Structure 1
Amino acid sequence: MIKGAAEAEEAGFEPVPPFSLSPTSMSAAPRPVLLGIRDAAVEEGSRCSWDTSKAGGRADGVPGVTLECPHCRVCTDFLAHLVQVYCPLEGSSYHRTLNVWACLQPGCWGRSESWKVLRSQCEETVCRQRAAETKPAAVPTDWCEGADDWGTEDLAAAGSLCPGTSGTPSLEPDAETDTDADEQTGRLQRLSLRDGDEEGTVLPAALVPRFQPFYIAVVEENLVEQPPLTHEEELLHEYQGREGVIPGQTPPAGGGDGAVAEAYEKGEVRHGDMAFVKFMKQIASCPEQILRYSWSGQPLLISPLPVGKDWDIPACENCGGRRVFEFQLMPALVSLLRSTDDKEVSVEFGTVLVFTCERSCWSPGNQRPMEEYAVVQGDPDAAFFS
């Protein structure tokens, strides 16, 4: 279960490693794929730590880094926090967390500019220092095999939560005196979204849509138990072996089993290519996966790239280095996102591909997260229901 060290220990769970792959060790070997699946719900009122992988809820700030609620570049609405992925790179001295937000306006679905990916990092020495400053008597907890110890529970208090409008400091009201309370109130009032609102000043945090949070568990794709083959799948495998057909390719016309050929034809007619068929076949062993992680690996496309076009991923805005694929959000996540109130809010997508700086560049003392890049592919079935 992906939880902070203190929470995992209290619940009696064995620590589960985060999404973590080594850039150096993967250079000469096939890159493993880690799958994220839904785990237990985050209890109401509890606060997660920045080293927690979860869906929904608030974004948890890495120590020393200020996170702010971003706006949609298209409609200017606040974005909703979808996932938080703790994904340190092996061999790096930095802890590393990625947060993904999306616009919930239907007109913005499927538009990459309506998504936001922010990368936050913190050196372990800084994490230890922050923990010591928060609570000097903290008892460290070993949360991952081979990892150093630190008080995760205390670190949660050091992180900043999703505050309000862009460009404002993180606010976590903790006033203990009337003077402090007045100061906090004044700061919150200055965050009004509109001047002269007849309803009075509106606290932005109340307008930020939020989904019910749950933890994300991590498993290796090649360790997932394969379900028994159906009769149709057995025929498909026999056909592929007999005819030398590569999975994902269209079989030659006029040969093979009728049922198999019909299955391929449906894929061809319905979507115009085999990308969707290949996508569904790849995730069949674990259809409940909500996230696929493979740093510098290959994304799993739900629809093909336009003919004659290749990836057009912009370079890192900070260091100018190239970006590489890191993870993608999967269709199963859509149905698991539930609003925290009575409002019917949702987001629709086929898959969302996240590309990050290959160098994972970061300057010591940096207090702002680095923005990364998302590519949104729509659900091919959406056209049949629109």
Structure 2
Amino acid sequence: MAAKLHHSVIMSDSPMPPAPPSAAPLANDGASRATNATEHKTNAAAIAVAEDGDSDDEEEEDDEEDGVELGFVAKVEQPLDAKLLHDSSDWGEWDGGLVGGKPRWLNPKAVPSRDTLSCLACSKPLSFLLQIYCPLDDQPDAFHRSLYVFCCREAGCAKQSQARVFRCQLPRENPFYPAASGVEGFTTGEELPSLCALCGQRASFTCSACKVVQYCSKEHQKDHWSHGHKADCAACQEQQRVVESEAHLEALREMGSKWVFPQYEVEIDHEPDASEAVNEHEAKLIAEFEKSKSAPKKANGDDSDPFTDDSEIDVTQKDLNEALGNKVEQDKAYVRFLTRVELAKDQVLRYARWQPQSVLWAHSHGACDSPIPACGRCGGERQFEFQVLPQLLFYLRVDKKSSLQQINEMQDCDWGTLAVFTCTQSCAADGEYVEEFVHYQPPYAGV
């Protein structure tokens, strides 16, 4: 069963019954809002694949595989004033996640402090990279649950793994959202903190000219001034409220700025298997990868390599090669990475909650080979939950370049993968934002 990003059951008038522990939901409308298969280059056309073993054995293997769900970016089609994700009180519509723009805080009262969301190396504000909604049906205090990833955009820091991830969760009964789904217009009586007009993080001061718009830092005030507030400041002062022109908001959403990434929605679809391959070539590609996972190790401890010189599998991916590096033939893990992501080439995220075997390292260098730190709150074990792939860099256009190789060489942030590990107890924190562990794997530079 695939690890789904949603509540397994929606009942508007009564508490939700626990789901089996194996359920791994990542959305909340009762079923995955699967993205169009053609859009994401995944396919549902059944292909006959050669059966190497007994069908019973294959079914047993299928039962052991919990599966992976993939995240794809999609343009935000809603109006500029639309309520995205946690901005809406109807949690039955929360689905997938967001990339770039401003975070939508699950607990809008306990927004992390500026110090918490500052780079540990340079102390500059971290930029919001993405968030995903991933509730736990079988844990009452995590009925709502979201994970947030931030990264530093200073060139030196970004190449030294300055990324941070935070978890927030709430019970079904909470001050911010109705207990029943389908409720629009619910408002909280809680007093909420002021947020930065540019990035949506906790604000600490107000524009000295209009005395209305608030910011978290001088860097963000300067950035926002050049992206619209210079023209809107007088209107803010006159009307004593935040005024932002649609043109300025649209430009930030589409192009981002020095401190804010362009905004996208994250849509979720399951990873295709051999029965869903579009043609024999793709079916064989999948079969070869599955073979590589189950192949015995060699005597010297190295994984056996299923990709022989006479392999008919073409794993050349120009954009992926440029994103990660070159010299594919020198790194077996890199070949396997390219082979796996070729099933859905534009995936930007892979989700497999607490399935350590499902992390897909971009290459053999810089993979996490040391013990994952225990949860800093409860001391419990952390395991892999999801990873961010380098394909996302292409959509973020972090240096306005069209070539991923140029991005890799010049950009203010890059990665081979960002692998997020979370507390397997998902320990309660009274709605606070708890830091989890993210492992940075650098781009592949060849051998």
Q: What's the TM-score bracket when you normalise by the shorter of the two chains? A: 0.5 to 0.7
Aligned residue for 1:347, secondary structure, equals: coil
CA distance in 1, matches of 2:182, 2:314: 57
| Counterpart check, 1:61 vs 2:105 | yes
Aligned length: 322
Q: CA deviation at 1:323?
A: 0.8
**Which among 318, 331, 335 is matched to residue 273 of structure 1?**
331
TM-score after normalising by structure 2: 0.58
**Which residue number in structure 2 is paired with residue 115 of structure 1?**
163
1:37 alignment partner AA:
F
Distance 2:194 2:337 in 1: 36
**Preserved contact between residue 315 and residue 338 of structure 2 (Cα < 8 Å):** no
Q: Is the 8 A contact 1:249 1:274 kept in 2?
A: no
The answer to whether the aligner puts 1:351 opposite 2:417 as a matched pair is yes
* Deviations 1:130-155, CA, capped at 9 Å, x for gaps: 346xxxxxxx9xxxxxxx41536646
Give the match for residue 441 of structure 2.
377
Match of 1:130 among 147, 168, 176: 176
Q: CA deviation at 1:102?
A: 0.9
Say whether 1:49 aligns with 2:46: no
Which residue of the other structure, out of 215, 218, 230, is the alignment partner of 2:265?
Answer: 215
Gap change, CA 1:37 and 1:261, over 3 Å in 2: closer
Report what 1:302 is aligned to. Answer: 362
| 1:86–1:259 distance in 2 versus 1, CA, 3 Å | closer
Q: In the alignment, residue 125 of structure 1 is paired with which amino acid?
A: E
Q: 1:81 aligns with which of 110, 128, 132?
A: 128
1 CA distance for matches of 2:73 and 2:361? 22
Any gaps of 5 or more consecutive residues in structure 2?
A: 9-18, 25-62, 87-93, 226-256, 298-302, 317-324, 402-409
2:145 paired residue number: 96
CA contact (8 A) 1:163 1:205 kept: no
**Does the C-alpha gap of structure 1 residues 258 and 130 become closer, same or farther in structure 2, counting only changes over 3 Å?**
closer
CA RMSD of aligned residues (A): 4.8
Q: CA deviation at 1:77?
A: 1.9
Q: CA deviation at 1:371?
A: 0.5
Q: CA deviation at 1:211?
A: 1.6
CA distance in structure 2 between the aligned counterparts of 1:325 and 1:23, rounded to whole angstroms: 19
Aligned partner of 1:290 in structure 2 is: 348
Q: CA contact under 8 A between 2:164 and 2:437: conserved in structure 1?
A: yes
Change (3 A) 1:361 1:106: same
TM-score, with length taken from structure 1: 0.66
- In structure 2, the residue matched to 1:324 is 383
Alpha-carbon distance between aligned partners in 2 of 1:294 and 1:228, rounded to the nearest angstrom: 26
Distance 1:75 1:293, change over 3 A: same
Structure 1: gaps (5+ residues): 1-16, 133-139, 141-147, 174-180, 195-200
| Separation in 2, partners of 1:262, 1:225 | 19
Deviation of the 1:78 alpha carbon: 1.6
CA gap 1:109/1:152 in 2 versus in 1, 3 angstroms: farther
Counterpart residue number, 2:279: 228
* CA–CA separation in structure 2 for the residues paired with 1:131 and 1:236: 43
Q: How does 1:155-174 map to 2 (within 5 A)?
A: 163=196, 169=202
Q: Which one of the candidate residues 311, 335, 357 is aligned to 2:370?
A: 311
Distance 1:116 1:271 in 2: 32
Percent sequence identity over aligned pairs: 23
